[in-house]
Structure 1
Amino acid sequence: MRIAIVGPAFPYKGGGARHTTELAHRLAAAGHEVVIESWRAQYPRFLYPGRQTIAEPEGEPFPATRHRLDWRRPDGWWRTGRALRSADLVVLVLLSTVQVPSYLGILAGLRGRARVVALCHNVLPHERKPYDEPLMRRLLRKVDGVLVHTGAQADIARTLTSRPVRAAEMAAHLPVAAASAPAAGKVRRRLLFFGIVRPYKGLDVLLRALAEGPDEVALTVAGEFWGGLDETRELIGSLDLTSRVELRPGYVPAADIPGLFAAADALVMPYRSATSSQNVWMAHEHGLPVIATDVGGFGTQIRDGVDGLICAPDDAASLAAALRRFYAPGEPERLRSGVRPVDHGPLWTAYIDALTGAAR
Structure 2
Amino acid sequence: MRVAIVGPAFPYKGGGARHTTELAHRLAAAGHEVVIESWRAQYPGFLYPGQQTIAEPEGEPFPATRHRLDWRRPDGWWRTGRALRSFDLVVLVVLSTVQVPSYLGILAGLRRGAAKNAGGCRVVALCHNVLPHERKPYDEPLMKRLLRKVDGVLVHTDAQADVARTLTDRPVRVAEMAAHLPSEGAPAPDDEKVRRRLLFWGIVRPYKGLDVLLRALAEGPDDVALTVAGEFWSGLDETRELIRSLDLTSRVELRPGYVPAADVPGLFAAADALVLPYRTATASQNVWMAYAHGLPVIATDVGDFGAQVRDGVDGLLCRPDDVASLASALRRFYAPGEPERLRSGVRPVDHGPLWTAYVDTLTGAVR
Q: Tell me the TM-score range normalised by the shorter chain.
A: over 0.9
Q: Once the 2 structures are TM-superposed, how far is the Cα of residue 182 of structure 1 from its aligned partner?
A: 3.2
Name the counterpart of 2:168.
161
- TM-score by length of structure 2 reads 0.97
1:120 to 121, 124, 127: 127
Superposition misfits of 4+ residues, deviation over 2 angstroms: none
Partner Cα distance (2:331, 2:144) in 1: 44
1:30 maps onto 2:30 in alignment:
yes
Tell me the amino acid that sits aligned with residue 91 of structure 1: V
Partner Cα distance (1:142, 1:305) in 2: 45
Partner Cα distance (2:273, 2:185) in 1: 19
1:350 maps onto 2:357 in alignment:
yes
Partner Cα distance (2:333, 2:82) in 1: 55
Q: Once the 2 structures are TM-superposed, how far is the Cα of residue 284 of structure 1 from its aligned partner?
A: 0.1
Post-superposition CA distance 1:129-177 (Å, at most 9, x none): 0000000000000000000000000000000000000111100000121
Q: Once the 2 structures are TM-superposed, how far is the Cα of residue 228 of structure 1 from its aligned partner?
A: 4.1
Tell me the amino acid that sits aligned with residue 217 of structure 2: L
Partner Cα distance (2:187, 2:343) in 1: 14
Q: Once the 2 structures are TM-superposed, how far is the Cα of residue 178 of structure 1 from its aligned partner?
A: 3.1
1:340 maps onto 2:347 in alignment:
yes
Partner Cα distance (1:214, 1:326) in 2: 10
Q: Secondary structure at the match of 2:103?
A: helix
1:272 to 260, 275, 279: 279
Partner Cα distance (1:183, 1:230) in 2: 37
Q: Secondary structure at the match of 1:78?
A: helix
Q: Secondary structure at the match of 1:358?
A: coil
**Aligned-residue identity in percent:** 89
Tell me the amino acid that sits aligned with residue 325 of structure 2: S
On the 8 A contact 1:119/1:148 being kept in 2, the answer is: yes
1:198 maps onto 2:202 in alignment:
no
Gapped regions of structure 1 (runs ≥ 5): none
The total of aligned residue pairs comes to: 360
Tell me the amino acid that sits aligned with residue 310 of structure 1: L
Name the counterpart of 1:282.
289
2:214 to 207, 213, 216: 207
On the 8 A contact 1:182/1:264 being kept in 2, the answer is: no
Partner Cα distance (1:319, 1:305) in 2: 14
Partner Cα distance (2:275, 2:205) in 1: 15
1:310 maps onto 2:317 in alignment:
yes
On the 8 A contact 1:24/1:62 being kept in 2, the answer is: yes
Tell me the amino acid that sits aligned with residue 19 of structure 2: H
Q: Once the 2 structures are TM-superposed, how far is the Cα of residue 183 of structure 1 from its aligned partner?
A: 4.8
- In the TM superposition, 1:1-360 aligns within 5 A as 1-111=1-111, 112=116, 113-360=120-367
Partner Cα distance (1:260, 1:219) in 2: 11
Q: Once the 2 structures are TM-superposed, how far is the Cα of residue 55 of structure 1 from its aligned partner?
A: 0.0
On the 8 A contact 1:192/1:261 being kept in 2, the answer is: yes
- TM-score by length of structure 1 reads 0.99
On the 8 A contact 2:185/2:264 being kept in 1, the answer is: no
Tell me the amino acid that sits aligned with residue 48 of structure 2: Y
